[in-house]
Amino acid sequence: MALRAIVTRPAAQAADWVRDLGAALETRGERELEVVALPLIAIHPLADPTPLHRAWAELAEQSLVFFVSANAVTHFFAARPPGLAWPAATLAAAPGPGTAAVLREAGVPAAQIVAPAPDAPTFDSEQLWSLLRTRDWSGRQVLIVRGEDGRDWLAEQLRDAGAQPRYLAAYARGAPVLGATERTLLDAAAADPAAHLWLFSSSEAVRHLVQCWPVPAGARALATHPRIAEAAQTAGFAQVMLTAATVAAVTDALVQARHVPQGVVGQARSLQSGSL
């Protein structure tokens, strides 16, 4: 059975995932698996970068800077003053290895990066906090770099531990503007849901999709976190499969989904509608 996987991450990350998943599938000889991008979160720079410039001027005062995503890193470092190095006493935190890799590429020393290991059970704030909670946070300043909104869970844990967290919006997020190519892909996925598998790494992407596309009966999805899986089920996806947010794990899940279309076993856990 031929299968088309649809990557819904923001455009820059979606392109990387399409490339890496395509290479992994090619290595395994899976020529009936196609990977395409349909970004469902639009990323925009801030109209006023002044807060970013101010944050760089005060960066050495922070004990920790938590970057919620690769986009947070990219837009924060786009405002870095020329020649300014990352402060030696400031840690940088990431929710997973992908964001950690972007931090290293941006010049943050690996020894100053705190992030869940590639084989961690989840890549999220809860997993990151398990690495941070034993530190002394009393009176420490923490900067959380994100979009214009997001989860408050990690800030609450830090505040309860005595830290002084504050948020910094580094970019704006919104619904995508879909063109003819994207509409054609949506039409194909509606006409043949069994031949398409949506890959969701954000509940926001699910919300944006259902605003412009009625989920057809029999639609299937991969989700990289239980919260995202729940959002997909609520949106009407008949079968949602959990998988780790790594190229290797998603590749395995795609191969299994193509060969066993009614249920996925192994690293991906199949969740029929209503089982969460």
- For residue 100, the SS3 value is helix
Q: pLDDT at position 1, please?
A: 66
220-227: which pairs have CB atoms within 8 A and are 24 or more residues apart?
Answer: 220/193, 220/194, 220/196, 220/257, 221/197, 222/5, 222/197, 222/198, 222/250, 222/253, 222/254, 222/257, 222/268, 224/123, 224/199, 224/200, 224/250, 225/122, 225/123, 225/124, 225/201, 226/276, 227/203
Length of the chain: 276
Last residue of a domain, one of 173, 203, 222: 173
Tokens describing residue 108: 């943050």
Domain membership of residue 264 as a residue range: 3-41+175-272
Asked if 206 and 229 count as a contact pair (C-beta separation under 8 A), the reply is: no
First CA to last CA across the chain, in angstroms? 28
- For residue 207, the SS3 value is helix
| Number of domains into which the chain is organized | 2
160 and 216 within one domain: no
Residues 6+ apart with CB under 8 A from 57: none
Q: How far apart are CA 240 and CA 200, in angstroms?
A: 10
105 and 17 within one domain: no
Last residue of a domain, one of 129, 146, 173: 173
Residues 6+ apart with CB under 8 A from 201: 8, 9, 223, 224, 225, 228, 245
Q: pLDDT at position 264, please?
A: 39
Residue 169, φ and ψ in degrees, nearest 5:
-80, 120
212 and 115 within one domain: no
200 and 139 within one domain: no
201 and 95 within one domain: no
Residues 6+ apart with CB under 8 A from 151: 125
What residues pair up with 9 in beta bridges, in sequence order? none
**Tens digit of pLDDT at every position of the chain (276 positions):** 689 999 999 999 999 999 999 999 999 999 999 999 999 999 999 999 999 999 999 999 999 999 999 999 999 999 999 999 999 999 999 999 999 999 999 999 999 999 999 988 888 899 999 999 999 999 999 999 999 877 889 999 999 999 999 999 999 999 999 999 999 999 999 999 999 999 999 999 999 999 999 999 999 999 999 999 999 999 999 999 999 889 999 999 999 998 865 443 333 444 443 333
What residues pair up with 196 in beta bridges, in sequence order? 4
256 and 187 within one domain: yes
Q: pLDDT at position 195, please?
A: 95
118 and 184 within one domain: no
153 and 199 within one domain: no
Last residue of a domain, one of 173, 207, 226: 173
Give the residue among 154, 143, 153, 94 at the shortest CA–CA distance from 123: 94
Q: How far apart are CA 253 and CA 269, in angstroms?
A: 9
216 and 149 within one domain: no
Give the pairing type, strands 220-223 and 171-174.
unpaired
149 and 122 within one domain: yes
Tokens describing residue 145: 């770099």
- For residue 67, the SS3 value is strand
12 and 75 within one domain: no
Q: How far is CA 84 from CA 58, 122, 151, 238, in A?
A: 12, 33, 30, 50
151 and 64 within one domain: yes
Asked if 146 and 167 count as a contact pair (C-beta separation under 8 A), the reply is: yes
Domain holding 108: CATH number? 3.40.50.10090
